[in-house]
A and B are shown apart, each in its own frame.
Chain A
């Protein structure tokens, strides 16, 4: 082994109770490379990373970091050795300043008191080096999500990390912010820092990564240079079978207008008018923060509407709360699964039946046998992978949690189903399953709105695409033009940036 590696993991195994999460896994990372970890949810990527940063201890196997045997007892230990991780779920304290956040747990002190001035000066210098346009005393809660992400990255870099692990770093970033992140990654790379990059977005992996390691069901499948493998090869490696069609869209007859919005205005959007028909999948594209989600939340009744009228099946649609919308047949899968989707510590059954409980009343009580039957049926339709519907939603992988969220709205039998980022944090296999479900429901006459920041998804699944730019609709495109190649990603993107 003349190769020079910064991190070598070999023979790593880890079991949780009876479940073997990792079996004899290896990983070799070179300094100065961006190394992608690829695999479906539950393949073992996160478990391996948690072992590397010391959140878990492996049952067997060894690690070598920077030429020395390495074993972290916890994240602090890992940071000391030179490994930092940026987690998918960001949770910095909103009340801290940028400086406090970056120097958390390693504050500058004069003896016992904090030396705030020195800390702020040091932080400012680091921020300036990064070209980060905020003063060090800005509070975290005043920053946009993308900037919070940047603070996390700056923190990792400022610990003089030799290796940084990024878990889905772009899941909350828009195109522009992603490009900025990539510039930072290239800069780190040129300084010899190794990056482990976990993502479900193949296009990004091809753009930024050098090497890829694929995992499946707790096994190591292989490592290869990205220039040597095709997209299809990688998907086959990940799923263990060929995914024939990433976007299983079935064209079905498009019926009457189900929902019509006229001149809707509210916080973050203005004068929005559109129609969606039975059997139609209407895609909403645009940058994060362009007002798409805000519009949907207002339609659903989670936020107020300043003006405008809505019609459902020709009748005026009036709603004060989400409960009014659900009763009339307008349902919404929120983009934020954790906060607006699930009660994680309640069972799959209770989560799934929650919005449609009124329909399952028998006198004073819930008809629990009917509830159980219906939840089991819908779980089967959605190919939910769970040992029992009595298990906590917490025990499921991201893709399966998303299926529970979709299941609960399917049980509510909507006329209009709004899906906001329906495949965020969902692996390739489950993604394809969710897409075919969307086609199936559309074919049954449901009207579907899909908000998505992933262009391939928008272009692969929509009958019609509306593009948002700064709270207005800036473009409308049709499936036939997308299929004929007349409307390309570039066309939609320029609408989103308002340059069309």
Chain B
């Protein structure tokens, strides 16, 4: 018992370290990954490659924010991969085969994705259906629709303005990065600084308490799925501009990476807990896994295994660090 003050101090120090690690644990994982890859492949840390990574992650980044919001309300959006294909097909069909102006085509494509997001939200909020079931089924509908629109054929896109969305630069920064940064700022402000963001946390944290506090569950749920639709549409615009062709078979499995990034970033499947800065870290980790493994020459067969293991490891680390919270 004589050593009690000392052990007490040690214990509180340990707690402080743990809470620091808990807050920034995923950031540390990111830094360690960067160091390891940089040692194995010096070309990794060049400005050119960093910009390259940032450009590549913009698509998954936008999808991840949508998923983050849905997961935070206690749901999930499995349609984002199919939404990518549908928007792409609508843009291709209207722009190339119907000669619509690029701007209008984008509006139509993103608009339809938004509408489908809204329908998902409506089914979940109005009829109390399970988000998993609704979006799993809607994903089939959306994917099927995109095949119907294009007849399963790829449509080439030759509009220079449109393909420039991916390749053009503003003050030396590629457009996708600019879009990603702007959306990130908007999402950050929305989730952490507005009433709507608070309501998302409240509905996810305890839906009964939220309703009893005057929060409309209906509009929160419809809102987050609609936003997820908008973001999937924008991601599709970047994707389609990058490949220069509209296809109905793109985006398969993209929801997995988006979910992974959200979860790595501390989004809790129990609902009510998420941060946008966390998601940014998660998005970068997923991007680095791809880029880094390509650079150090890991075969794509192994990449998927490594990715899965890293996600489990990172989430486990997070659980251990935040043990007191759960």
Chain A residues in the interface with B (C-beta under 8 A) = 15, 17-18, 20, 60, 300, 302, 321-323, 325-327, 332, 334, 339-346, 350, 353-355, 357-358, 361, 364-366, 368, 392, 394, 408
Residue contact A345 to B205, C-beta cutoff 8 Å: yes
Question: Known contacts A18-B8, A392-B325; is A322 also within 8 Å of B195 by CB?
Answer: no
Residue contact B194 to A346, C-beta cutoff 8 Å: no
**A346 CB contact (under 8 Å) in B201, B212, B214:** B201
Contacts of A17 in B (CB 8 A): 11-12, 15
Residue contact A339 to B194, C-beta cutoff 8 Å: no
In this assembly, does B206 line the interface, its C-beta being within 8 Å of a C-beta of chain A?
yes
30 pairs, A vs B, C-beta closer than 8 Å = A15-B11, A17-B11, A17-B15, A18-B11, A18-B15, A20-B8, A302-B211, A302-B212, A322-B211, A322-B213, A326-B213, A327-B214, A339-B209, A340-B212, A342-B206, A343-B201, A343-B205, A346-B202, A346-B205, A350-B201, A353-B198, A354-B198, A354-B210, A354-B215, A355-B214, A357-B195, A357-B198, A364-B194, A366-B198, A368-B193
Output the least CB separation between A483 and chain B (Å): 35
Residue contact B193 to A346, C-beta cutoff 8 Å: no
In this assembly, does B1 line the interface, its C-beta being within 8 Å of a C-beta of chain A?
yes
Output the least CB separation between B95 and chain A (Å): 34
In this assembly, does B189 line the interface, its C-beta being within 8 Å of a C-beta of chain A?
yes
- A34–B270 Cα distance when bound, in Å, is 40
Contacts of A357 in B (CB 8 A): 195, 198-199
Most buried by A among B8, B201, B213: B213
Output the least CB separation between B20 and chain A (Å): 14
In this assembly, does B97 line the interface, its C-beta being within 8 Å of a C-beta of chain A?
no
Contacts of A15 in B (CB 8 A): 8, 11
**Closest chain A residue to B18, Cβ basis:** A17
Question: Known contacts A343-B272, A357-B195; is A322 also within 8 Å of B205 by CB?
Answer: no
Output the least CB separation between A394 and chain B (Å): 8
Contacts of B11 in A (CB 8 A): 15, 17-18
- A307–B8 Cα distance when bound, in Å, is 62
Contact with A along B115-148 (1 / 0, CB 8 A): 0000000000000000000000000000000000
- A365–B190 Cα distance when bound, in Å, is 8
Question: Known contacts A355-B214, A368-B193; is A341 also within 8 Å of B209 by CB?
Answer: yes
Contacts of A332 in B (CB 8 A): 212
In this assembly, does B91 line the interface, its C-beta being within 8 Å of a C-beta of chain A?
no
Chain B residues in the interface with A (C-beta under 8 A) = 1, 8, 11-12, 15, 189, 193-195, 198-199, 201-202, 205-206, 208-216, 270, 272-273, 325
- A357–B210 Cα distance when bound, in Å, is 12
Question: Known contacts A341-B209, A368-B193; is A321 also within 8 Å of B214 by CB?
Answer: yes
Q: How many A-B residue pairs have CB under 8 A?
A: 88
**A354 CB contact (under 8 Å) in B15, B189, B202, B270:** B202
Residue contact A339 to B208, C-beta cutoff 8 Å: yes
- A334–B202 Cα distance when bound, in Å, is 16
Contacts of A345 in B (CB 8 A): 205, 270, 272-273, 325
Question: Known contacts A326-B213, A366-B194; is A344 also within 8 Å of B8 by CB?
Answer: no
Contacts of A334 in B (CB 8 A): 212
- A408–B212 Cα distance when bound, in Å, is 11
Output the least CB separation between A191 and chain B (Å): 40
Contacts of B213 in A (CB 8 A): 322, 326, 354-355, 408
Output the least CB separation between A119 and chain B (Å): 33
Contacts of A339 in B (CB 8 A): 206, 208-209
Most buried by B among A321, A346, A358, A364: A346
Output the least CB separation between A402 and chain B (Å): 13
Residue contact B15 to A340, C-beta cutoff 8 Å: no
Output the least CB separation between B11 and chain A (Å): 6
**Closest chain A residue to B195, Cβ basis:** A357
Output the least CB separation between A219 and chain B (Å): 15
- A392–B272 Cα distance when bound, in Å, is 12
Residue contact A346 to B8, C-beta cutoff 8 Å: no
Residue contact B209 to A343, C-beta cutoff 8 Å: yes
Output the least CB separation between A365 and chain B (Å): 5
Output the least CB separation between B111 and chain A (Å): 23
- A319–B40 Cα distance when bound, in Å, is 65
Output the least CB separation between A68 and chain B (Å): 25
Output the least CB separation between B119 and chain A (Å): 23
Output the least CB separation between A330 and chain B (Å): 11
Residue contact B194 to A365, C-beta cutoff 8 Å: yes
Question: In the complex, given contacts A321-B211, A365-B193, what are 19 additional A-B residue pairs having Cβ atoms less than 8 angstroms apart?
Answer: A15-B11, A17-B12, A18-B8, A302-B211, A321-B214, A323-B216, A343-B209, A343-B272, A344-B205, A354-B202, A354-B210, A355-B213, A357-B199, A364-B189, A365-B189, A366-B193, A368-B193, A394-B325, A408-B213
Most buried by B among A332, A341, A368: A341
Residue contact A340 to B208, C-beta cutoff 8 Å: yes
Output the least CB separation between B13 and chain A (Å): 10
- A20–B5 Cα distance when bound, in Å, is 11
**A342 CB contact (under 8 Å) in B8, B199, B209, B325:** B209
Contacts of B208 in A (CB 8 A): 339-340
- A353–B213 Cα distance when bound, in Å, is 10
**A340 CB contact (under 8 Å) in B1, B8, B209, B273:** B209
Contacts of A394 in B (CB 8 A): 325
Output the least CB separation between A479 and chain B (Å): 30
Output the least CB separation between B301 and chain A (Å): 40
- A15–B1 Cα distance when bound, in Å, is 13
Contacts of A365 in B (CB 8 A): 189, 193-194
Residue contact A343 to B210, C-beta cutoff 8 Å: yes
- A326–B12 Cα distance when bound, in Å, is 43
- A17–B19 Cα distance when bound, in Å, is 12
**B214 CB contact (under 8 Å) in A322, A343, A344, A350:** A322
- A343–B202 Cα distance when bound, in Å, is 6
Nearest 7 CB-CB pairings of A with B: A343-B205, A323-B214, A18-B12, A326-B214, A355-B213, A343-B206, A354-B213
Contacts of B206 in A (CB 8 A): 339, 342-344
Residue contact A361 to B195, C-beta cutoff 8 Å: yes
- A489–B251 Cα distance when bound, in Å, is 70
Contacts of A361 in B (CB 8 A): 195
Contacts of B12 in A (CB 8 A): 17-18
**Closest chain A residue to B9, Cβ basis:** A18
Contacts of B15 in A (CB 8 A): 17-18
Most buried by A among B8, B206, B208, B216: B206
Contacts of A364 in B (CB 8 A): 189, 194
Most buried by B among A302, A343, A353: A343
Question: Known contacts A322-B213, A339-B206; is A358 also within 8 Å of B195 by CB?
Answer: yes
